[in-house]
Amino acid sequence: MGKTVLIVYAHQCPRSFNAAACSTAVQALKDRGCKVYISDLYAMNFKPTATAEDIKGDLKNPEHFDYGDETMAAWKEGRLSEDITAEQQKVKEADLIIFQFPLYWFNVPAILKGWIDRVFAQGFAFSLQNMYDNGIFKAKKAILSFTTEGMESMYLPDGINGDINVTLWPLQNGVLNFCGFQVLAPQIFWAVAHSPPEVRTAMLDSWRERLMDIWTEKPLTFASTNLFNLTFPGGFRLHPEAKEKLNALPYGITTAHHLGKPVPPNNQTKVSEK
């Protein structure tokens, strides 16, 4: 059966490199028989702010508005605004979500952050019972595909911007892995504006080639929730036995679960050999 892909695309200009990366993906995936949805956020004038207008009908507690509580209740009762519901429907159908964007302040542009805040509502995308490897979207894959101004060497552990693996952690672990996605290695188009045209063309060619085999790619590795005591008295911390075992290893578990040791190199950019 053909797969479904959602591309959440955040660039203002159809002549940009991001637009080219987006249309390269659309073409490559359609050639492979995939159904492709594009959420072109600027063209849609997508509302990025998480506000009470996202909820239809009466608020549960208008005196003390709590976006998380109100949207969870509204999701359960089918009272989220139409723009959110339409995006959630595409997410539900998608086997793979590609986030295509220029890196803004080591993160996604605000319009895309707003999409994440509003579309990945509690109940729909996560709950305390369903998070990380028990996450709601564990059958789905996700990729961050983005461009930078800075060159790759600036994002090495000894580069001026610091390790790209650290930059990627909040999005890849805090959003995607948290919601259960199998996170595929990011597609990074380094320093596009400073690269000669033939290098940019080669970048798009290798993106196209990668997409041909995207369904067989192994995801990145994150810490299993089995390692942690998932109770409030236990503080959601590593089980002492797990900690003892891991103490013998030369590296921490992940970029952030480093246990005071060296972080595993390229933990957020390359698939582990193990």
Q: Which stretch binds ligand FAD (CB under 6 A): 41-49, 63-71, 200-208, 230-238?
A: 200-208
Residue 147 contacts ligand FAD per CB under 6 A: yes
Structure tokens at 206: 């290798």
Residue 232 contacts ligand FAD per CB under 6 A: no
Residue 148 contacts ligand FAD per CB under 6 A: yes
Note whether 47 and 84 are within 8 A (CB): no
Of 82, 105, 128, 273, the residue at the interface with ligand FAD (CB under 6 A) is: 105
Instruction: Give least dist CB 113 to ligand FAD, A.
Output: 12
Residue 104 contacts ligand FAD per CB under 6 A: yes
Give the nearer residue to ligand FAD in terms of CB position, either 115 or 222. Answer: 115
CB atoms within 10 A of CB 253: 21
Instruction: Give least dist CB 35 to ligand FAD, A.
Output: 24
- Identify the three-state secondary structure at position 99: strand
Note whether 80 and 56 are within 8 A (CB): yes
- Identify the three-state secondary structure at position 262: coil
Structure tokens at 53: 């207008």
Note whether 92 and 25 are within 8 A (CB): no
Of 3, 16, 40, 156, the residue at the interface with ligand FAD (CB under 6 A) is: 16
Cα 237 from Cα 230, distance rounded (Å): 7
Handedness of CA 230, 235, 241, 246 (dihedral sign): positive
Of 37, 42, 67, 106, the residue at the interface with ligand FAD (CB under 6 A) is: 106
The binding site for ligand FAD (CB under 6 A) comprises 11, 16-18, 20, 102-106, 147-150, 192-193, 197, 200-201, 204
